[in-house]
Structure 1
Amino acid sequence: MEQKHSYRPLYLSLYLNYFVHGIGVIILAQNMDALAARWGSIADVAWVISMLGIGRLIVLFVSGKLSDTYGRKPFILLGMITYIFFFAGILLSPTSVVACIFGILAGIANSFLDAGTYPALIESYPESASTATVLLKAFISAGQFLLPLFIGILIATKAWYGWSFIVAAVILAINIPIMLKMSFPSMNPVQEASEKDTSAASWLPKSKWYLEGVCFVIYGYISQATFYLISQWLTKYGVAVAQMQDMAARSLMSYYSIGSLACVFFTAFITKKGIRPITLLVVYTFISTVSIAGLYFIPSGSLAPILSLVVGFSAAGGVMQLGLVMMTEMFPKGKGTMTGIFYTTGSIASFTIPVVTGYMADSGINSIMGLDAIIALAGFIVACIIYVRYNSVMKEKTAN
């Protein structure tokens, strides 16, 4: 209890970063029309969005390994500073080519934050790692809930779209001196415990990288692709496919974020009641498959808000974070490295999905939803494989 209390200010500062990250993930898509008018076309904006994935891919694996060596705090601070450069740089970019550079910086910033934040939360809250990491999604969802409403107000009042970028940068600038004062937990408690005790307490799962590891890598891609596609195209889907007015279509992202937020607290509650995260991984992935298929097969202005909420609940409510926690349980040495590997495949999704869907948009926005339904179905199949292998490997622990 004392440990939780002593690290509470750290948690709040880390979570505030991810509130801004939630804004950063969708801010280009939410300002798509204004940026397209400035740079040339929607395809140009889609290319800039795809650069976030390139940025993540460039440094995520390396930053994860370096985080295990040099500590969590330097990379979190680097992520905060780099994100500020992104928000300012997009406003200063005269063309999409220049903006792509800052899009890469956003991906790098996200990688730095992930490499430091996830291991720090797991290490400071080892008995409730699932809850601590999934709560990041609450703050991401809060950012994604408020941003469309804020942009809607800017549009309604004919104010400059750039205020959405400036507000996000200011929040990070305020949080930097706070983060500088924070103390962090010691790294790799599993390894420290094994050095102290070579009996049953030092048990480590004998996971096979070519099997369980590959499944987690694939799941990292699929889980990121599933909700990333929705977050970038849901508003356009509302206007073009569900025939909704602009403000109503923007509200779909808010319904999506409400669902995501609700899932975070629901997951935290039922895991404390004994429901295993690995079970939730399978159930949530199945629900997301059905709900995204509903958006594709039944485009409707009245049904879209309900399905958006369900998709947010099941696909963006922390299922990716649950996958990471499961991976660090099965491969507990080097949490920063595991974070890097898991999110590297997610960063590939962040790059490939905007590029593919940017071209698909010309043939109809609903075809993008069909693609997402197929991706979600593949995720459900992989989650079932992970479920079987996780139970098999973890049985060794009880046997010991």
Structure 2
Amino acid sequence: MKTQHFGMTIGLYINYFLLGMINIIFTSNMSFLTTQLNTDNTGISFLVSGIGIGKLITLSVSGRLSDKFGRKPLVLTASFLYLIFLIGIPLAPTYKIAFIIAIIAGVSNSILDSGSYPALIEAFPKNTGISTVLIKAFISIGAMILPIIISYIMNHNIFYGYSFFILAFMFFINGSFLSIVRFPKNSNYSDQDTIYEALRFKTKPIIWLEGLATIFMGFTTTTLFMVVQVWLPTYGLNILGMSKTDSIQLLSFFNIGSLISVLILAIVINRFVSPIVILILYPFLTSLSVLILLFCHQPILLIISSFLIGFSTAGLFQLCITVIVEFFPKNKATKSAYVSTASSSAFIVIPYITGLIAKNIGVSAVFWLDIIIAIVSIILATFVFYRHKKVFKKIGHSSSLMKAS
């Protein structure tokens, strides 16, 4: 992939590398946070939902702001806003203050997505699927490295807050770097796009059909990895009898699988397989992998199942954004925000539901919920695949995937 915006691209991917660490920093420090905030594991799960609330209340506005004022102001705002979260959580004296800070993290996440995804799509107009899927690669690398950092901190009896403070410093440095690099101009829609639509569409896409189904997939695909990311260490600790360090290391295998998956996707997507086919196949593999986790407790099978779950949940949310922008190329940030809003709903609803399930039924039941969500995701993706065949002309199909944004 070639672009004139190399500095911006590196800076954005570094942000998502750091975001990968932030995504699991609550659950990886759950034992410390429960003591600090005088709560339990369910309380920390609810704290994660605060991130989803922050995203949800911001996305509808941030997408429009990105389309109107440009991508760079939002990306910079998010980079520096994350400092409040990363410095504030280890110093939070009460659960209420920590919850407010978690909401700020969600706002930061929303703003970052609304600026970054359209910026990358505009920087790589012929490789939109690859550019967005690589975001997941950097998220996976970050999530793979954080457990190693936390294990070192635990083994050396260092204050857990340093895992937050290190990320705060890195966000500050990267935000300063992004402030001096050039971003592409907004290219929301043009007369050329209108002409191209006539060439590639057999019939006009319908937002209440394939659009809504893709938006719902933003919820289901986020849920698939979120359930495992939040509850895998607890499952290993409480159900499998693993040590704290070993249970956290399961996340490393999960994220190794994610990383390998997105690297493969970066090679095959659009060349050999379309995004919507992956959105059908991967949730099927997720359901099988979770079954292995539930019924096969041998150490090697636990590693394999953790790896496969990470592999099969990787990049799905990013592919949902690629698909909806392919169907509806006008106002990219706004359309992407619809999918991100559904994803944010998962951050609110799923920690709450899984927290109740884990408390009243058991952690294993949480993973049965993940299987049900995987089946729903397969049904939605199959419908979108059917609509894709109805909407797009066969000639130039692959080019339409690249042109989509």
**Identity score, percent:** 35
| Cα deviation code 1:97-154 (max 9, x no counterpart) | 1100000001000000000000111111011111101001111001100111111111
- The structure 1 residue matched to 2:32, chosen from 31, 34, 37, is 34
Residue matched to 1:44: 43
State the match for 1:239 in structure 2.
Answer: 237
Q: What is the deviation of 1:393?
A: 0.9
Aligned position for 2:18: 20
1:99 maps to what in 2? 98
Take 1:351 and 1:297, find their aligned partners in 2: how far apart are those partners? 29
Of the three residues 271, 285, 288, the one matched with 1:287 is 285
- Out of 330, 333, 348, the position equivalent to 2:330 is 333
Distance of 2:329 and 2:253 partners within structure 1 = 36
Shift >4 Å, 4+ stretches: 197-205, 396-400
After superposition, give the CA deviation of every residue in 1:318-349 in whole Å (9 maximum; x if it has no partner). 11111110110001101000111001011010
User: Pick from 358, 361, 365: which aligns with 2:358?
Assistant: 361
Q: How is 1:249-398 mapped onto 2 (pairs within 5 angstroms)?
A: 249-271=247-269, 273-315=271-313, 317-362=314-359, 363-395=361-393
Question: Is 1:139 matched with 2:108?
Answer: no
CA distance in 2 between partners of 1:245 and 1:205 (Å): 57
Matched residues in 1 for 2:43 and 2:50: separation?
Answer: 11
Amino acid at match of 1:87: L
The amino acid that maps onto 2:285 is: I
1:205 touches 1:330 (CA, 8 Å); kept in 2?
Answer: no
Rounded Cα–Cα distance in structure 1 between residues aligned with 2:193 and 2:220: 34
Which structure 2 residues correspond to residues 113-124 of structure 1 after superposition, within 5 A? 113-124=112-123
- Cα offsets for 1:140-199 (capped at 9, x unmatched): 00110011111111111111100100011011100112101121112225425347x589
Contact preservation (8 Å) 1:45, 1:96? no
User: What runs of 5+ residues in structure 1 fail to find an aligned partner?
Assistant: none
After TM superposition, the score normalised by the length of structure 1 is 0.94
Alignment partners' CA distance in 2, 1:47 and 1:322: 27
- Asked whether the 8 Å contact 1:23–1:147 carries over to 2, the reply is yes
**Structure 2 unmatched runs, 5+:** 401-405
Structure 1 359/301 Cα, relative in aligned 2: closer, same or farther at 3 Å?
Answer: farther
Taking the aligned partners of 1:324 and 1:100, their CA distance within structure 2 comes to 28
Partners of 1:182 and 1:201 in 2: how far apart?
36
3-state SS in 1 of match to 2:299: coil
Give 1:242 shift.
Answer: 2.4
Tell which deviates more after alignment, 269-278 or 50-59.
Answer: 269-278
Cα distance in 1 between the residues matched to 2:202 and 2:321: 17
Shift of 1:275: 2.1
Q: CA, structure 1 residues 289+321, in 2 after alignment: closer, same or farther (shift >3 Å)?
A: same
Cα distance change of structure 1 residues 305 and 121 upon mapping to structure 2, 3 Å threshold? same
User: Do the aligned residues in 1 keep the contact of 2:280 with 2:381 (CA within 8 Å)?
Assistant: yes
The structure-2 alpha-carbon separation of the partners of 1:205 and 1:338, relative to structure 1 and needing over 3 Å to count, comes to farther
Superposition pairs of residues 145-294 of structure 1, within 5 angstroms: 145-188=144-187, 190-191=189-190, 193-194=192-193, 206-271=204-269, 273-294=271-292
Asked if the contact 2:203/2:390 (under 8 Å) is kept, the reply is no
Take 1:307 and 1:396, find their aligned partners in 2: how far apart are those partners? 37
Aligned residue number for residue 9 of structure 1: 7
Between 292-301 and 352-361, report the one with greater CA deviation: 292-301
- The whole-number CA distance in structure 2 between the counterparts of 1:336 and 1:324 is 10
In 2, Cα distance between the equivalents of 1:321 and 1:12?
18
CA distance in 1, matches of 2:103, 2:7: 30
Q: Distance in 2 between matches of 1:76 and 1:189?
A: 18
The answer (yes or no) to whether the contact 2:7–2:182 under 8 Å persists in 1 is: no
For residues 390 and 300 of structure 1, the distance between their equivalents in structure 2, rounded to whole angstroms, comes to 42
Q: Say whether the 8 Å CA contact 1:39–1:95 is kept in structure 2.
A: yes
* Distance change (3 Å), C-alpha of 1:355 and 1:189: closer
Taking structure 1 as reference, are residues 173 and 122 closer, same or farther at Cα in structure 2, changes over 3 Å only?
Answer: same
Q: 2-side partners of 1:45 and 1:376: how far apart? A: 25
Describe the superposition over 1:255-289 as per-residue Cα deviations: whole angstroms up to 9, x where unpaired: 01100000111011112643222222211121112
Rounded Cα–Cα distance in structure 1 between residues aligned with 2:93 and 2:73 = 32
Return the letter of the residue paired with 2:237: V
CA RMSD, Structure 1 to Structure 2 (Å): 2.0
Q: Answer with 113-122 or 359-368: which moved more.
A: 359-368
Task: Report if the CA contact (8 A) 1:289-1:380 is conserved.
Answer: no
